[in-house]
Structure 1
Amino acid sequence: MSTTADHLQVLGMTEWESRAYLALLKESPATGYSVAKRSGVPRAKVYEVLSSLERKDAVHVTRGESLQYGPVPPGELIERMRVQTTERLDAAEVAIAEYAVQTDNNAAIWDIQGRQQILSRARRLIEGAQRRILMEIWESDADELRADLDAASAREVEIIVVAYGDPGYPFAQVYPHPLLDEVTGGRWLVLSVDDREVIAGIVSSGDRSRAALTTHPGLVVPVTELVRQDLYKLEILAAYGDVLESKFGPGLSKLREMFGACAQHPDVP
């Protein structure tokens, strides 16, 4: 079981410093000799320990005929440590973020396996979105991300969706895709956040589902652009659908047959 001294050490005090501070809480003002006697800190080290506590603003010192020490009140000490810790964490967060931006061009492309793992990573991306989300999703998978997308919309993040079926996303700009039947390989999820990070892959194969996650511009740029190209196509279909379907079939089916999928990938059931 942790002692009070253990907790003080977690806050940055050494074992001897925590003992000396607790001794002063019991009796103060006190001389170094008294602190050593009550705390168990060696007399040869006690003034060094008390000087360290003074530098940490954990004790007060009166200088008369002999040095007398008193503890900074615990509430004041803890609050100052809390502020200092928050400031250090904020500084570390900024520094790490800046470093990540500087090294972004060498970002890895992560292979995410399993439907739930892919959806979990997608939720993290949505949670971090600041400006815009572009995505493609099937009706069968839409419920999984509805709450996260709704929360992003509440933060005024723009959400634009190419939907295969009805996702039931009143908070988003939804563009229905004419393809409603699953194709070879299954259902995919494509998510591009702020044009800086994407996750894209198959989510309909259970534990064998696979997706790529990256901030690498070599993948972020083309994947995001492919979603935009689908949006352009759907806008054109909405305006000139009759003309296009008369030549290429319902939902441009003749084009899909012409440029359809090759042999199935061995990793996809």
Structure 2
Amino acid sequence: MTPVSMPDILEHLQRLGMSGYEAKAYVALVAAGRPVNGYEVAKRSGVPRSTVYETLGKLVARGAAYEVRGAADATDYLPLPPAALLDRMRREFDGSVAVLQTALPAVVAAPEGHLIHNLKDGEAMLARAEDVIAGARRDLFLSIWPQELRRLDARVREAAGRGAEVSVMSFGKVAEAPGGDLPGSVHEHRYSAPEAVLQDLGYRLIVVVGDRREAVVGGFGTDGSAWGVYTADPAVALMAAEYVRQDIALQILAERVGAAELDRLFATDPGLLRLLGRGRA
């Protein structure tokens, strides 16, 4: 496992609800290994002395630390052990999620229109794609390159485990993961050589569609740039799903009749040749 740095630990504690000062003070208490007073916590953590007792009071109030009597009746502090703290946070988080699953839908107003928004970079696009996959219950369509599939692999397996029918078109070999082959109907795009597609388009296209009701569509440039959109418009999501389905159908057809025969068919029909376009190898 990759070692986790101190800034990472502090960041994750803040994600779970602690302030920056609270996270620093709690880590200082854990690292001390014995009861320490506020002055020592400030010295160890970098929390200003003017706010360290207020910060420690907040930790005590949330049950992450305890006051104990030190020398000369001074107040020292002990942390709640990390395992106990994380277990408590997990219970509180799960409890809040359970309540909100019922409460939030009850206050949601009917949308005036179908949601659509831009995704500013590759990380935002992959995070939104994870959301789409997590919401899929019936079917899931992906047109994707191995570089992006590695990030989404675990989420795709979870969707398949929930019973979603998974269909994947991969522009390149799908590497076998520790969990084995990717579940569902998985096809490697050979009729359109990935190198030719990349040269023709200039970017790696990604399409992720969940239950034909929401989709992420975007591209990853060879220069590290990325662009994309998320939409909950069912018409757009349906078209995106059809794009993946038709591409899979063409790949299956090429496998059945042979790429050479399919090329001959396209070459003898100007209409099909025009639709095929460039990028075929």
TM range (shorter): 0.5 to 0.7
Among candidates 124, 130, 134, match of residue 127 of structure 1: 134
The one-letter code matched in structure 2 to 1:232 is: A
The one-letter code matched in structure 1 to 2:182 is: P
Partner of 1:170: 182
Shift of 1:223: 1.4
TM-score of the superposed pair, with normalisation by structure 1: 0.56
1:92 pairs with 2:103: yes
Q: 1:186 to 1:92 in 2, by over 3 A?
A: same
The one-letter code matched in structure 2 to 1:114 is: D
Structure 2, gaps ≥5 residues long: 1-53, 63-94, 176-180
Partner of 1:58: none
Shift of 1:85: 7.8
Report if the CA contact (8 A) 2:174-2:188 is conserved: no
TM-score of the superposed pair, with normalisation by structure 2: 0.54
Q: Deviations over 1:107-160 (max 9, x none)?
A: 232110211111111112112221211010112332121122122222222211
CA distance in 2 between counterparts of 1:202 and 1:87 reads 36
The alignment partner of 2:125 has SS state of helix
1:185 pairs with 2:195: no
Greater Rg by CA: 1
The one-letter code matched in structure 2 to 1:116 is: E
CA distance in 1 between counterparts of 2:245 and 2:152 reads 21
Two-structure CA RMSD over aligned residues (Å): 3.6
Among candidates 178, 203, 220, match of residue 203 of structure 1: 220
CA distance in 1 between counterparts of 2:98 and 2:174 reads 43
Q: 1:222 to 1:87 in 2, by over 3 A?
A: closer
Size of the aligned set, in residue pairs, is 182
Report if the CA contact (8 A) 1:115-1:206 is conserved: no
1:259 pairs with 2:277: yes
Structure 1, gaps ≥5 residues long: 8-83, 262-269
Percent identical residues: 23
Shift of 1:220: 1.4
Q: Deviations over 1:30-54 (max 9, x none)?
A: xxxxxxxxxxxxxxxxxxxxxxxxx
Report if the CA contact (8 A) 1:114-1:206 is conserved: no
